[in-house]
Structure 1
Amino acid sequence: MSVRRLAAEQPASFAFSDATMEQARWWMSKYPPERKQSAVIPILWLVQKQEGWVSEPAIQAISQLLEMPLIRVLEVATFYTMFHLSPVGKHHFQLCGTTPCALRGAEDLKDVCKRRIGAKHAVSADGLFSWEEVECVGACVNAPVIAIDDYYHEDLTPDALEALMDKLARGEKIEPGSAIGRDASAPVGGTSVLTDPAMYDGSLGQKITLPNLPEKV
């Protein structure tokens, strides 16, 4: 496991937005008052949604909100790689580099990220993009996969990734899912089994009488 540290440069302060505080209070209400510290992970996530990353002033604010030792909030934030401890781009790419994705072209996707964005964890000059390599994201059958912001983009090629980046650079919305139109994890080209609904819709079923049923009283 790699050592994760807070960014060298930190903002002077942090403040919860009204919407973030409302949601944080909702999470805290799910636990008894003496167990409100159990909400630390969702509140860290809410802060990241607000700011894009988790700063030291934000960790201090969460510590005060939950009446929780600062070191314990810091332990959680640095343990889970889902929390960004330094600024990221407006659109953050998490590129799976584990074996199935590597065998299906992840290295070529890395080259695109390096050329278009820069080194891992760097933010592009325009502030739009950042990227990192992550371990298995659990979508191996549709490899290679990149999670962009909160959604998976699968079956990617370098050209498909460049097209997504071009759309984001123009401010356009991109649709998650397979770049080749694959339906969920179906085979390339579409489903080839159970194509007749009668095989699974129950229409071929016949009523049967079970033996030795007790008589109705």
Structure 2
Amino acid sequence: MQNQYEDTEWNDALRRHNIIPQLEKEVTEEDIVDLVEQTVESKSQGKSLGDMTYDELNEREDDIDEEDERMFEQYRRQRMAEMRAAQMKARFGDVGEISKADYVSEVNNAGEGIWVVLHIYKDGIPICKLVNNHITNLARKFPQTKFLKSVSSVCIPNYPDKNLPTIFVYLEGDLKKQWIGPIALGGMNLKQDELEWMLAQVGAVESDIEKPERPEVKDVMNMAIRQSRIDNEDDDDSD
């Protein structure tokens, strides 16, 4: 969107029709407060030009004189292109279930610039259920990304259960990243924000989330061995 405070021919036309505020030589803190109050009040009375739908832009065109018609038409075309692009970009929003037969059309031919996150899972495995819950939420949060899931026996015959869950990440049919097995994904301690961060590092989702801190995993085996040695030394001393 164009800066409404720029001194341009288009902004002059919008100001003549009170679509944007008049240009002030110097914007003070008081001016900003007034602008916010005016914006809140205008929400109950109508929409700004940038928030209008394509149909509303057509209706508003009646208020534009011949001098501004050409620029308004250009702006309307730009808005229509932006809305179409946004609609195309956010066309997913849920997790699709696919089979082996769907793989080529849903993954390889997903489309230009489309990231695909595919979860290979099996019912009855707790961590698979956990990952499915996470990707369901992430699919809603990032509708630009295509999230899919498939039962291992349906998608990859004889795929070992020890490799589940598996997550494949594709871009335009190319495998960009894979996490195979519970250890690669962090086991049952995997949090949704951790998975989001992992996908963001690959580029599959646009997220500014920082790397979540994972609690230090204690080495139970070594701790038990050390404790056993201490106990044995105490027994020797008592003898």
**Same-fold call, TM > 0.5?**
no
| Larger-gyration structure (1/2) | 2
Structure holding more helix per residue:
2
TM-score (norm 2): 0.29
TM-score (norm 1): 0.32
